[in-house]
Amino acid sequence: MVIDMENRINSAWLTKLFTKSGDVVIRPIKINQNNITVYLFCVDGLINQALFDDAVFRSLKFDPYLANCVTERDMMDYLLEGGAYHVFTKEETDYQLLLKYVLSGMVALIFDSEEKAIIYDIRMFEKRSIQEPSEENVMKGSKESFIEVMRMNTALIRRRIRSEYLVIETLSVGRISKTDIALLYISNIADFVTVNKIRERINSIDIDNISTPAFIEEFLVENKHSIFPQIMYTQRPDRVSANLSDGRVALVVDGIPFAYILPCQLPMLMQSPDDYANHFLVGSSLRIIRYLSMIVTLFLPAFYIAATTYQSQMLPVQLALSTQAAKQNVPFSSASEVLGLLISFEILIEAGLRLPKAVGTAMSILGGLVVGQSAVAANLVSPAVVVIVSLAGISGFIMPNQDLSSGIRLSRFILAILAALGGFFGLAIGLILLITHLCSLNNYNTAYISPFVDVEERNVKDTLFRFPIKHFKKRPKDIAPYNHIKQGNIKDG
């Protein structure tokens, strides 16, 4: 009778499984005169070799008590009860979990007769140091940002929220990659309906490999056809901690140097850490500028097309005359000029991103100044169009969230095309469709443009204006339905 060794913790089967993998070490270690042999199972390059020699090998070879152990079970009991020179030690009986632990950098001692293993967590691999955020810099505030190691990222959050109610669940996604995902929430604040829904969606992901952030985002987004971001990402541990305290849920993915925050609302994407680091009047002013810039980048090109093509009488006389004079020698229509420059603007952005940093900066300057000036001198575009497109482009870069900036840039194209087809009538149709679409988005039972469609007074104090901190007394009911009190001894009305 042939015994199937597959899916059983056995050194012979593991040796056969990894026979062609030169980095996987499966080595027999004889313990004592009773000829008890255990098998070391680890991946070279992922373990801390100095800690291995001190915590594992030294205890196996020089501990006098191990020399007197008669059976493998006696030896396992001694190691688990304090004989192991390492605090992170556990017994494992599941074959799949054993593979996951070892292939993620842990060390296992295989006991063949028991068909069990003892796991030592002595992982060590190269990682970036904690640096200043590249996208969310602040003058006053923390300079720490997430890195690609999940456990380091969760430690940065745990250091800021020292509460026993902070829960960090570890999930695994990917049939081949087996990527770790940490689900974070504060159990006495977060809505468990939302937590359970997010957990179910993560567990339902059936894919081989999580190679890019979009692989996670597309499974978690509820409205998959919307171009507007419905998951907020951030590089800052302090921002994640603040949102967790409000009742939201965070996701930290191993290998991705930022965290996701759910549920996400449009006002969250318009906020910056600087809003809370400065005086509330300064923060409110900066926030108003962002909203005005969003209106400018969305509607200015479309408004120019509609005004100069269909309703030029709406412009002031001097402006209309100067615009027409600048267009006399240009062979293209206003719509062609604007759309052509908008496309050229996007090409310059992509070229600047793809080229090396030094070359990309020089190319952006060359393209923006030399090519733009040459196009005006050659009467291919009018100076007014260059000003309009440049102002719209710069206004789009003020957005704190780059995903939101990309969605607004695409919406800007759609509105410009509608304005070229129908003038102000087409622009009005585009505006109605845009508002209707934003109002229809529901992100984990939370309105996407809440609190603009909300009647709760507490929600409007951190939107267009940033009120003083003393006014942030309650959490939104749709985010934290049971624990409303945020500060002070007040009764929830």
Q: Which two tokens stand for residue 109?
A: 């001692």
Is residue 2 pLDDT above 50, yes or no?
no
Pick from 219, 241, 264: which residue ends a domain? 264
Same structural domain, 41 and 164: no
Start-end of H helices in 226-279: 237-245, 266-269, 273-277
The arithmetic mean of pLDDT across residues 184-211, rounded, is: 90
Answer whether residue 462 is part of any domain. Answer: no
Same domain, 218 and 293: no
Residues in the chain: 493
pLDDT tens-digit map of 243-282: 999 899 999 998 889 999 999 989 889 988 888 888 888 8
What pLDDT sits at residue 390? 86
Helices (H), 173-236: 192-203, 213-220
E strand segments, 139-291: 166-173, 179-186, 232-234, 249-253, 259-262
226 and 300 share one domain: no
| pLDDT value, residue 261 | 94
Calculate mean pLDDT across residues 313-317.
73
Shared domain check, 248 and 298:
no
Distance of alpha carbon 101 from alpha carbon 26, whole angstroms: 15
Least confidently predicted of 166-170, 198-202, 383-387: 383-387
Coil vs helix vs strand at 387? helix
Mean pLDDT, rounded, of the chain: 83
Residue 337 lies in a domain: yes
Identify whether the C-beta of residue 145 lies closer than 8 Å to the C-beta of residue 236. Answer: yes
Average pLDDT in the 473-486 region?
80
Kind of pairing between the strands at 232-234 and 166-173: unpaired
Q: What is the pTM of this model?
A: 0.82
The 10s digit of each residue's pLDDT in 105-121 is 888 999 988 889 989 88
User: Measured in Å, how far apart are the chain's first and last C-alpha atoms?
Assistant: 73
**Is 71 inside a domain boundary?**
yes
Phi/psi at 283 (nearest 5 deg)? -60, -40
In this structure, the number of other CB atoms found within 10 A of the CB of residue 127 comes to 10
Give the mean model confidence (pLDDT) for residues 289-302. Answer: 93
Q: Report yes or no on 467 lying in a domain.
A: no
pLDDT in tens, 28-63: 888 766 678 889 998 888 888 887 877 777 777 777
- Residues 247, 356 within the same domain: no
When computed from its CA atoms, the radius of gyration of the chain, rounded to whole angstroms, is 30
Specify which residues 251 forms β-bridges with: 183, 260
Structure tokens at 243: 């949102």
DSSP state letters, 316-361: -HHHHHHHHHHTTT--S-HHHHHHHHHHHHHHHHHHHHHS-HHHHH
Residues 292 and 230 in one domain: no
pLDDT confidence bin for 367, thresholds 50/70/90: low
402 touches 135 (CB < 8 A):
yes
Residue 371: pLDDT over 70: no
Q: Are residues 298 and 429 in the same domain?
A: yes
Q: Which amino acid is at 36?
A: I
